[in-house]
Amino acid sequence: MSATILSGLVARAARVSRLVEKVKKLSYIPQLAIIQIGDRSDSTAYIKAKMAFAKKIGVDIKYTNFKETISQPEVLAAVKNLNVDHSIQGIIIQLPLPADIDRATIIEAIDPTKDVDGLTSTNYDKLLSGDTFAIVPATARGVKELLAYYLISLKGKRVAVVGRSRLVGAPIAVLCRNDGAEVMVCHSKTVNLADETKKADIVIVAVGKPGLIGADHIKKGAIVIDIGISKMPDASLKGDVDFEAVKDIASAISPVPGGVGPMTVLGLFENIIDASL
């Protein structure tokens, strides 16, 4: 029997009315500022998806696109102006950035209360400390929302998180532990990845290596969440999990595309609305 498909599109659609009602209850229209440097087609596509969702739930977007020739001090000045603009509730920097712009410097310049991507050290440290007011990175929040929609409990489950990036893997591991899971974090130094992942009830993968996780990595009946997304030479999109090889072993699996991606957008706007309260 094939696995249940954990559709982020379905889960997000079920949450839209809730967000619309939250926005309506505010005394003003929340506004998200998006800064993009350059014109990468994939980044532009992500921004368009955010704009479309913002329009659907009643959030305004202030979009600024800089040429790749912009200097780092100029970007910092733009961020600082947004920090003091009271009409802006959230600020995101569309990644990746050009090589001559230091990502950490730009991210750390964002006011932590407007850091709706949850990337500043202030918010990351709050998350690690268990602060319930920490802004959770959008992808991590989206994964949690996806599991909740499909009534998948983490309590008492053994979870393998493959990938330990500050943006995705690390915060997801923290959220899983907070919800009562036993968490194993696997990474490039893990000696035998399959030995670890086959012990897990839930496998969450965020590495960016297409097809990394195959049939020999998953035990029968496991739940698989695929966060990785890579553009292939034929322009198709593939995840970190070999979907065809795993779908008849897992009890449930998120597809790529259409799984975690839509939920990441949902998580971002949940953060914006929380920042607006």
Q: What is the pLDDT of residue 42?
A: 87
89, 115, 117, 247: the catalytic one is 117
110 within 8 A of 61, measured Cβ to Cβ: no
Going by C-alpha positions, the residue among 229, 177, 225, 201 that lies closest to residue 11 is 225
Any known ligand binding at 156? no
Q: What is the pLDDT of residues 116-150, one digit of tens each?
A: 999 999 999 999 898 888 999 999 999 999 999 99
* Beta-sheet pairing, 4-5 with 252-253: parallel
Q: What is the pLDDT of residues 167-183, one digit of tens each?
A: 899 999 999 999 999 99
Q: What is the pLDDT of residue 275?
A: 92
Q: What is the pLDDT of residues 36-93, one digit of tens each?
A: 999 998 899 999 999 999 999 999 999 999 999 999 999 999 999 999 999 999 999 9
Rounded Cα gap, residues 152 and 250, in angstroms: 14
Q: Is the model's pLDDT at 1 over the cut of 70?
A: no
Rounded Cα gap, residues 206 and 213, in angstroms: 11
Domain boundaries, the chain: 28-117, 137-261
Q: Is 115 a catalytic residue?
A: no
234 within 8 A of 268, measured Cβ to Cβ: no
Any known ligand binding at 214? no
Any known ligand binding at 251? no
Q: Is 157 a catalytic residue?
A: no
Any known ligand binding at 229? yes
Q: What is the pLDDT of residue 133?
A: 86
Going by C-alpha positions, the residue among 35, 153, 148 that lies closest to residue 94 is 35
Q: Is 117 a catalytic residue?
A: yes
Superfamily of domain 137-261: NAD(P)-binding Rossmann-like Domain (3.40.50.720)
CATH 3.40.50.300 for domain 28-117, yes or no, is: no
22, 31, 94, 114: the catalytic one is 94
93-117 mean pLDDT? 96
Q: What is the pLDDT of residue 2?
A: 84
Both tokens of residue 79?
A: 């961020």
Average pLDDT score, the chain: 96
50, 114, 144, 247: the catalytic one is 50
In the chain, the percentage of residues whose pLDDT exceeds 90 is: 94
Rounded Cα gap, residues 222 and 200, in angstroms: 7
Q: Which residue has the tokens 């050009």?
A: 98
pTM of the predicted protein model:
0.94
In the chain, the percentage of residues whose pLDDT exceeds 70 is: 100
Q: What is the pLDDT of residues 210-227, one digit of tens each?
A: 999 999 999 999 999 999
